[in-house]
Structure 1
């Protein structure tokens, strides 16, 4: 049974930077569903898009796989495709251990390997689908383009990058509105003002978000000619970027 997220429910003498440790692992499903609007719809879309873009004789990657929800969505949608392998990669030992346990509970003929690695150091090759589901926002901004370039270079022609991110609006008034609506969403899901404030303080130094224009421009700069937002709810969006067949 999923434990309720109460990490920030009591006043903390000092709010430390957010880390994906064992405490977070225990409550992560509850945390992300109560914090990220449309999360389940994004997972369903990842499965649907994986089914469309996955190629036989290729690798599929879930970078920053956490507990493996997107990894599982990918694997469930490539059954019957010849010689496909799925790789989940995360740098949190606690997340990787729980992810392996989670995936072992579902039978499938599609092989899945979960690796505890820094995605910036991981070897990527022969990919037809790469997923980064709320992962890039935790990579230092100055290192994002190089990581995305590595992903692009690993993709086969016709391959796709599925990128989900929290974003900020370039319009300050609209950004304030989106942030406020998101906080209303969290309140409606049972988070207190204290929890919202302490979580925001914990995450502000480790999650630095971009505008959608920045995302699109960076993807174009590294070689993607086709990019599109396919899902948005408040200040959360899921994008796809397709590599040309040429």
Structure 2
């Protein structure tokens, strides 16, 4: 029986686990980092919590006699991907990175692409958004851990949406909205209008579960600051297809 470890937490990871778990010749373990409360669990065996860095992951691969490793984490889980690459190199366990395609700008979109959260914050600080004479009202959907990058900015009010609440006290200029996708265009449009939002800040996560905010922004003429995803390490085998990942494991 071949043993497969999926570094998961995404819809693609769950879809992959469901398909591989149906193969009687495979033992499939999905690993979740444990950073989200009440995560959606995949089919099959689940391991929660970290490994203790690349060396811990390498030791676990050897101990559990894992035959193949698939990194199907979030496109911005840069540290986990680096750990997977290092552990694969140290143990000789083949690695495949599964990443859903990023979003693409289309007609009617007003996107400003930046290379980091810090660059997005700099753009917010140096550009006037919305109505002159009042604070800029920002729709922030970059995750709870990014809030310290944006909260100190002067002259802004933030609607920060995340699955779980941010750690520590929330500044007065921040309104936290706890919610989980999938979202609808109608709901996102109503949210933008209700809070009189001037600009959307998001990460290029890709996928359909949270894409409705981009459709609503296009309809309402709302500018979007899009944070590009980090590049994959050089030489890493990667795919954007669950079917291709299944074929790779079974091949």
- TM-score band by shorter chain is 0.3 to 0.5
Bigger Rg over Cα: 2
Normalised to the residue count of structure 1, the TM-score between the two structures is 0.43
